[in-house]
Chains A and B, each alone.
Chain A
Amino acid sequence: MIVNLYPLKEFKLPVIAECINPEVFKGKSIEEIGRLEVWEGNKQRRLNELFKLEAEEAESSPEAPVITIHGDVSRVRRIGAGMKNGEIVVKGDAGMHLGEEMRDGKITVYGNVLGWAGSMMRGGTIEVHGNAGDYLGAPYRGSTEGMKGGKIIVHGNVGREAGAHMKKGIIKIYGCAGQFVGFRMKGGTIYVQKDCEARVGACMVDGTIIVGGCVESVLPSFTIEGLRKRVKIEEGEVVEAPFYLFTGDLTENGRGRLFVAKGPNPHLSHYEKFL
């Protein structure tokens, strides 16, 4: 089954709608889905008070429904939170906490997403064709439980602290990234194709960060290991270009690996004297 959701209005108030989740929709009629509870500001509403709902039978009917949202839902938070299977497609911008704690399944956004997309993610895939906000894949405040698995692909730019406290999984950013990419990360891989603001890999303990563009600076608490001719991002994706390899963060006795492309970063050439 495919469920199509059309926003009935331009949302002004924050909407909390963790019920937009294939797992929740599964086995329910369109009327039952319409009666699911959501919050708009401080008022409890039903899903069909905010969205027009349409069901269509898919040709190849997968087990869990596919949810397609048509329109701007950038005020709608927690879409697909905790989802375990199925698929969500957002044709428009999506709000905060998209796919928070998701375990499996797929979310595709043809637009931008706000902060905390894929927060505390454990599995599955999130693909964003626009930009992503701050704290991509990062944990909740005060927690060190970052991303533990799964894949996030962003074709645009991302905000600050992407992949903070990450333990496992992969984040690929084909645009630029804000500061503190991979802050305190413990494992996994982050790839930034374009430029990175400062403090990449701050306090990282383990894991890999690859920056293909210019980095503002490398923290003084990183040490240069050597030069590499190419770097593998994941199975089937290799970047053929010379990279500096730094390890750190020394302040945390870290063994994290930070690859920075040599070409766009002539200001780092002074490190070569240590090689």
Chain B
Amino acid sequence: MSKDIRIRKGLDINLIGAAEQTTSKAVTSNVYALNLDDFHGITPKMLLKQGEEVKAGEPLFYNKNKEEMHFVSPVSGELVEIVRGARRKILTLKILADKTQDYVINKVPDLDTAEAPAIKNFLLQCGGWPFIKQRPYDVIADPDVTPKAIFISAHATAPLAADVDYVLKDKEQELQVAITALGKLTPGKIHVSIGRSSRSPFVDIKGIELHKVSGPHPAGLVGTQINQIDPVNKGEVVWTISPQDLLILGELLLTGKFNAERTIALAGSIIKSPKYYTTKIGAEISTFLYASGVKEDRFRLINGDVLTGTKTHTEGHLGFYNNTVTAIPEGDDYDLFGWNKPIFNKVSTTRALTFSWLMPKKKYDLNTNTNGEHRAFVVTGQYEEVFPMDIYPLQLLKACMVKDLDEMEQLGLYEVAPEDFSLTEFICISKQPHQQIIREGLDLLQKELG
């Protein structure tokens, strides 16, 4: 039995430079790096010192608040640098990779007989756990809590995002193993959403409830799907995991090896030949960026898609959760009378002398210009047009800004993650930082109540 989801409110942003569906193997990276900002809310405690040798899959550090939760190295080599910031906060761990990779082989629990605690312990010890995130708060899941359901979105609608069906092709075995294991961690269901006309490998997977999603972005965001299928109430917890990470979990459960290999999409108007690469978590982006070539020297390089990704640079490394790397032009230039002349080359939801409504199929070359200055909230009723959840977005944002915990709770902050506000942020006339506001709201709520 499956419930189909049809999203009407939303906006597809068509950009130039979608990745062509061919995969190359990226050049092996010399140095791998874990960016600790990827693990929001985790206070790391190092298990290794600078200069020590590490195997692939060997724990590098653990979560200070949950000692069993290990974070492992994607490759074997030498921990060459622990980059620290203000107040000695660890920012990045850099590992100089060995020529031949040496893996830790973990003892795999027997999935037929293993109970939830055994699987949990295995994932926590072997570095598979951080892939599982939870709502509320959009952080790495708390292993002490049993979720009411697990949600997986296998349908990407974000601009230039990697095509999930393509990335998962012929990986049924890993998916099935990972799903079976996850299924033991919740008494509820595992909801998997696929595109309406997709040929997803999930069709044949057992132990899931399949949903077919259609409609514009954010139909593919897991938050939208949760809201449609089984919204999070106060006190409830759901887990989310992205399908590409299921592959790593699957292989971990099959072979006992933490294989950080991942197929990623390199996309964006700056890239000469955008396509897919197989590489590893933490690899230098330059190992595949220049294989595809760039059209300009100055551009914005993004770990992730243009709406939710994090800014990086050509010496940066692939993020822990990312399967897309996007490069778009920087927009740090002035535009003469940009506020009143007719605009044909930018996306807009209004028709105030902006003409993207005339050409819904046109692909755009957007840059990073904000197209205006930051202002107080003025216009109303616009966010609702691209926000399909049963939540009042403007009111929730304002509740977060004034730090009103009661309002935040009542208006549904438990149900959302910052990424759910990426589209309202995109169309915001007042250029408010919606995702940051929601992130700070979630952090505050977790600190006070979580």
| Interaction A to B | no
Interface set of B (CB-CB < 8 Å, partner A): none
